[in-house]
Amino acid sequence: MIRRIPEKQFAKVRLFPEKAAVASPLGVKTLKMILFKRSLDLKQWLSSQKSKGKTIGFVPTMGALHAGHLNLIENCRRVADLTICSIFVNPAQFNDSKDFEKYPVSIEKDIEMLTHAGTSVLFLPSVEEIYPGGRANLENYDLGPLETILEGRYRPGHFQGVCQVMSRLLKTVEPDHLFMGQKDFQQCLVVQRLISILNIRLEFHIVPTVREKDGLAQSSRNLRLTADQRKNATAISEALNDIRQNLTDGNEAPVLGLARKKLDAADFKTDYIQVARATDLQPIENWNGKEKAVALIAAFQGDVRLIDNMLLN
């Protein structure tokens, strides 16, 4: 029997408390993971599992896995009977073809990490499997202002690409639970909107960002940083912390100015530093300290573009 999330939980978003970001390993019962390359095979297998009453949790990724991804898997295993992870470097969401070509791939290591993390299934489709009719004339989703602000402004077409792959993956997996990272804050809001556009019932879990000891948000792109760039890269989380600690009513311009100076000093080329409403990412100019707000940064270290954010309250 398929366990349906009750109506009132429709596309419910659950923000984990910050402490949940620290992984505490669950016992791994078995080191067996099934690998599917075709949507139809996965769909059939999932349907047999759902008919046995198993609940499905889904963690979509682009691979080059790190502790942040494993934390999503860990959280998923806590709530779902079966944890499905996908690895698919989605060409449709890369507005910069060089960024796509240079995206790190480490599939063998990923398979080992996922197996040891107790993942039930890895879905590893080809581009043809996800886009059997090619990538011309794809559907367009009405994402509202989210599509063109912040990441959308600097990466035109990115969120349509995210929606194209997510809609296909969600239709294949039909999960009861979806796990994504707060690290990609705007992506979470976009996917939340997509879930309601597609009228899908699931519980959406947004998991806090896992960081390196020095504060740098874990990211597959960190692998592309040179040793010097890696040292500089901590300036992003330091700048976000400074904003979080110092922002009060009426001092936004000087506080953001200092954050920008910090990034400049660390050789970053900054796309944006923004304080925004956490619900829809509309810019906040004079934060009253009460409204749920988030500070977001996107900046280049050399040719590696890094993003990060921190909730202010």
Q: For binding to ligand AMP (CB under 6 A), which residues are involved?
A: 61-62, 68-69, 71-72, 180-181, 183-184, 207, 209-210, 217-220
Q: How far is the CB of 7 from ligand AMP (least distance, A)?
A: 26
Concatenating the DSSP letter of every residue in the chain gives: -PPPPPGGGTTEEEEPPGGGGS--PPPP-----EEE--HHHHHHHHHHHHHTT--EEEEEE-SS--HHHHHHHHHHHHH-SEEEEEE---GGG-SSHHHHHTS---HHHHHHHHHHTT-SEEE---HHHH-TT-SSS------GGGGTSTHHHHSTTHHHHHHHHHHHHHHHH--SEEEEEGGGHHHHHHHHHHHHHTT---EEEEEPPPB-TTSPBP-GGGGG--HHHHHHTHHHHHHHHHHHHH--TT-HHHHHHHHHHHHHHTTEEEEEEEEEETTT--B-SS--S-S-EEEEEEEEETTEEEEEEEE--
66 is catalytic: no
Q: How far is the CB of 25 from ligand AMP (least distance, A)?
A: 16
Q: How far is the CB of 207 from ligand AMP (least distance, A)?
A: 6
Q: How far is the CB of 15 from ligand AMP (least distance, A)?
A: 13
Q: Which is nearer to ligand AMP, 42 or 206 (CB)?
A: 206
Q: How far is the CB of 90 from ligand AMP (least distance, A)?
A: 8
Catalytic residue among 66, 69, 158, 205: 69
Give catalytic residues, as residue numbers.
69
